[in-house]
């Protein structure tokens, strides 16, 4: 595994993202009501949005799963349940 180590003369690009890229944004799914009776209510999933818009979603349950989506809109279309599940970005959550 390659591990970056701090050195006295770090290259100027170190610490900056490549052009056109942004930091990965993390979020949680907050389910207000569980129509299916499967996931329950509350914080039901964890996710991340990458620079290219792709989303990964993890369901940390007794039988965990990992899903990939082309966009947040796709996540909302599948898991939003008409507003009963909300995407809450970690940066917007109280500490």
- In percent, the amount of the chain with pLDDT more than 70 equals 83
Q: Which helix (H) or strand (E) holds 73?
A: helix 72-79
Q: How far is CA 48 from CA 4, 23, 30, in A?
A: 23, 10, 14
> 61 pLDDT band (50/70/90 cuts)?
confident
**What is the average per-residue pLDDT within 46-54?**
94
> Which pLDDT does position 63 carry in this prediction?
86
Other C-beta atoms within 10 Å of 84: how many?
14
Cα(57)–Cα(66) distance, rounded to whole angstroms? 6
Global pTM value? 0.74
């Amino acid at each position: 595994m390659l591990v970056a180590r701090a050195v006295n003369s770090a290259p100027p690009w170190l610490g900056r993202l490549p052009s056109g890229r942004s930091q990965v944004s993390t979020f949680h799914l907050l389910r207000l009501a569980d129509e299916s009776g499967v996931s329950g209510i509350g914080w039901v999933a964890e996710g991340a949005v990458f620079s290219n818009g792709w989303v990964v979603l993890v369901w940390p349950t007794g039988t965990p799963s990992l899903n990939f989506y082309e966009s947040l809109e796709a996540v909302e279309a599948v898991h939003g349940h008409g507003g009963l599940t909300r995407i809450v970005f970690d940066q917007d959550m109280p500490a």
